[in-house]
Amino acid sequence: MAADLDVVNLCIIAGGTLAIPILAFLASFLLWPSALIKVYYWYWRRTLGLQVGYADCGGYRFCYSYRGKPGMRPSILMLHGFSAHKDTWLTVVKYLPKHLHIMCVDMPGHEGTTRTNIDDYSIQGQVKRIHQFVETIRLNRKQFHLVGTGMGGNVAGVYAACYPSEICSMTLICPDGIRHPCETKFDNHVQDLEHSNYTLNIPLIPTTPEEMEDMFKLCSHVRFKIPQQILQGLVDVREPHNTFYQEVFMEIVGEKSRYALQDHLHLITTPLQVIWGKQDQVVDVSGAAVIAETLPECRVDLLENCGHSVVMERPSRTARLILEFIILQQNARSGTKKAT
């Protein structure tokens, strides 16, 4: 009987011990979903072996995550899209070899990188800031591979045009900045915004869980089932930054930035890979043909049943394509050196 009571007591104690973290998780999920999202990113970075670093230059601070050290393969610098952050790339980093030197930086004004009222958030302005980051961490001591998606793709392309000696190869994923011949659902939204003198809500800056869900539907062909609490948490995380996002949005759809990539295509000399989701409703896939027409040597990979959020929808395939391209270009350079 005493032994039975001991077992019962042990079960009660064990159950109570397990109940505490379970209740804490449920409380976080229901009451503080935004806090749970931040913990989630922290845990994922830790699991993948990514560390967070800071680079200071003249009072300006860049925040970035990194893994590995420079080695035989080129370092990889990843630039995220509009209103996103460095953790956007976690899904892709998961499928890249751990020995690769990878850096994911928060774009100017985003997440942990300095935000000022006097900064230039046009594409050219962001290019200058990213170059400042590259020089501060001395990444350009050796040519590196540059990756950009969406707005980050626009910045990456212009960067390669302005600083060609620093880049050995580049991957653009559904990049902004191209005059694509076919209109998208998002193009229609932008036209409505312009007609309303930008008084309507911007689809990429959601303020409610319902608008957040609509944004996912716009950006992703794959339909993710996201709980209402998580949608609310995502809204809460973004809400303090919405005024800034509006400022950046106005810059990148303005005359100076809207077609910045296309205006610089003829200056790009680095080997180029373009990855695009065929069902992209934000930046039409016809933009890939526009790039290929100007740069016929570029490699184009079109992904079936995939929208604008390629990094989220096809992370494994994206990682594999990037790695294949890097190795292909590195082998081509080695063959050229041997031939000479």
For the stretch 319-324, contacts whose Cβ atoms lie closer than 8 Å and that sit 24 or more positions apart, written own/partner, are 319/92, 319/93, 319/94, 319/95, 319/96, 320/95, 321/171, 321/273, 321/275, 322/76, 322/92, 322/96, 322/145, 322/147, 322/171, 322/273, 322/275, 323/96, 323/97
- Indicate if the pLDDT at residue 179 is higher than 70: yes
Give me the pLDDT at residue 9, please.
38
Helix axes 228-238, 209-219, angle to 10 degrees: 90
User: 62-85, pLDDT tens digit by residue?
Assistant: 999 999 999 999 999 999 999 999
Give me the pLDDT at residue 338, please.
61
Q: Comparing C-alpha atoms, which of 326, 337, 265 is closest to residue 296?
A: 265
Give me the pLDDT at residue 117, please.
87
User: 289-319, pLDDT tens digit by residue?
Assistant: 999 999 999 999 999 999 999 999 999 999 9
Give the whole-angstrom CA distance, residue 64 versus residue 79. Answer: 10
Give the whole-angstrom CA distance, residue 314 versus residue 302. Answer: 11
| Strands 272-277 vs 299-303: parallel, antiparallel or unpaired | parallel
Cα distance between the two ends of the chain: 87
Give me the pLDDT at residue 223, please.
87
pTM as predicted: 0.89
Give me the pLDDT at residue 62, please.
98
User: 104-153, pLDDT tens digit by residue?
Assistant: 999 999 999 999 988 999 999 999 999 999 999 999 999 999 999 999 99
Q: Comparing C-alpha atoms, which of 126, 292, 172, 150 is closest to residue 218?
A: 150
- Indicate if the pLDDT at residue 22 is higher than 70: no
| 6 — pLDDT class (breaks 50, 70, 90) | very low
Give me the pLDDT at residue 318, please.
98
Name the DSSP letter for residue 45.
H
**How does the average pLDDT of the chain come out, rounded?**
89
Percent of the chain with pLDDT over 90: 77
**Domains contained in the chain, CATH given:** 49-339 (3.40.50.1820)
**Alpha helices per DSSP H over the chain:** 2-31, 33-48, 90-93, 123-136, 151-162, 185-195, 209-219, 228-238, 242-252, 260-264, 286-294, 310-313, 315-339
